[in-house]
Amino acid sequence: MKLLSGAIAAVDHGGSLGRASALFPHAPQPFLDLSTGINPHSYPLFDLPATALSRLPEAGRLRELAEIAANAYGAQSAAHIVAAPGTQILLPRVASLVRPGKALVLGPTYAEHARAAAIAGHAVVEVRDFDALADADLAVLVNPNNPDGRVIERDRLVGLAARLRAKGGLLVVDEAFMDVGPIEHSLAGDVGEGGIVVLRSFGKFFGLAGVRLGFALADQLTTERLEAQLGPWAVAGPALEYGIRALADAKWQGGMRQRLAADAKRLDELLSRFDIAVAGGTSLFRYLSFPDAQSLFSALGERGVLLRHFADRPQVLRVGLPGSEEDWQRLESALAAWASRREDAPREC
């Protein structure tokens, strides 16, 4: 157990080319950024109507988005959906749905959950054991987990939610990567019972992290409370238009799930050729845990290939998917250079 109370300082994240340049000032640019779990194959861009930028977003269009999102995510109805400018901005609002108490976060995981719970006034503890979460006022987990891909089965989650609900607590399940499954363990269809908030991210699976769109799924009273906090026009015009089109496009989604699964398999095979075993992950990122992780991070970074490392866990890395064939070649060359250097290096015995 790790006490995180008061940890409201800014958190380090993947996806910043500015920080990459500071870390690896001599790396060839542009970076190949594999430090996020964002799909490199974006949903096809299209021309937005000028009014998506010039006019206030329409309430009717927002209702349409909620209908489509409910259908795409498997919520019972649009009344269970709150659209927001990214899930990130929802986190302190969601953590504030229960009075300040004991927040337990199943870790290690996405660090913003602990920060948000602390901002909301909770005493935050990171736990490693799922069963320990039953003791919380606010229990938070990511499913599948980031960065290791661990999955908690739906029936265990439903049981935990019932226990928390009975004492006025709340279970928050961040399903940021659930678009690539395992969908049978999603709680999206269970939020109507109350005591559950499910978070869904639009930008990761659709490769559109810049538009800022995310959703909270909850019972109707909770969605009304969150909507009151956001106020009108929380979702920008471009996010509305992309959300409506992409979330309704089941054909693209199905094809993309297959493509990402194949890409993840290809990445595992490539890494194994360099004796790097993949310890977990999802189709959007792979999780590595091995003693040489720090040397791999540095060697690839110097070649402009950016992985995600974690300051407090030097043996761990997360690797996103390359997009183009050129990117795959670049990753392979960088891995080969690291491997040959490793073979040349004197070993400690």
Closer residue to a second copy (CB): 22 or 166 = 22
Residue 15 interacts with a second copy (CB under 8 A): yes or no: yes
Residue 53 interacts with a second copy (CB under 8 A): yes or no: yes
* SS3 labels along the chain: CEECCCCCCCCCCCCCHHHHHHHCCCCCCCCEECCCCCCCCCCCCCCCCCHHHHCCCCHHHHHHHHHHHHHHHCCCCHHHEEEECCCHHHHHHHHCCCCCCEEEEECCCCCHHHHHHHHCCCEEEEECCHHHHHHCCEEEEECCCCCCCCCCCHHHHHHHHHHHHHCCCEEEEECCCHHHCCHHHCCHHHHHHCCEEEEEECCCCCCCHHHCCEEEECCHHHHHHHHHHHCCCCCCHHHHHHHHHHHCCHHHHHHHHHHHHHHHHHHHHHHHHCCCCEEEEECCEEEEECCCHHHHHHHHHHCCEECEECCCCCCEEEEECCCCHHHHHHHHHHHHHHHHHHHHCCCCC
Residue 52 interacts with a second copy (CB under 8 A): yes or no: yes
From the list 31, 130, 233, 252, which residue makes contact with a second copy (rule: CB under 8 A)? 233
Here's the x/- map for a second copy, 306-335, by CB under 8 A: it reads as: ------------------------------
Q: Which stretch binds a second copy (CB under 8 A): 8-16, 163-171, 283-291, 310-318?
A: 8-16
For the CB of residue 327, give the shortest distance to a second copy in the complex, in Å. Answer: 14
Q: What would you measure as the largest C-alpha separation in the chain, in angstroms?
A: 68
Token pair listed for 161: 């939610």
Closer residue to a second copy (CB): 219 or 241 = 241
Tell which positions 115-134 bind a second copy, by CB under 8 A: 115-116, 119
Closer residue to a second copy (CB): 57 or 149 = 57
From the list 75, 226, 239, 288, which residue makes contact with a second copy (rule: CB under 8 A)? 239
Directed axis angle between helix 325-344 and helix 293-302, to 10°? 120
Closer residue to a second copy (CB): 48 or 277 = 48
Q: Which stretch binds a second copy (CB under 8 A): 170-178, 189-197, 226-234, 280-288?
A: 226-234
For the CB of residue 7, give the shortest distance to a second copy in the complex, in Å. Answer: 11
d(CA 9, CA 72): 35
From the list 5, 71, 76, 229, which residue makes contact with a second copy (rule: CB under 8 A)? 229
Here's the x/- map for a second copy, 59-78, by CB under 8 A: it reads as: xx------------------
Closer residue to a second copy (CB): 230 or 270 = 230
From the list 236, 270, 279, 339, which residue makes contact with a second copy (rule: CB under 8 A)? 236
Closer residue to a second copy (CB): 45 or 349 = 45
| Footprint on this chain of a second copy (rule: CB under 8 A) | 8, 10-11, 13, 15-19, 33, 36, 38, 42, 45, 50-60, 85-86, 88-89, 91-92, 112, 115-116, 119, 203, 207-212, 228-239, 242
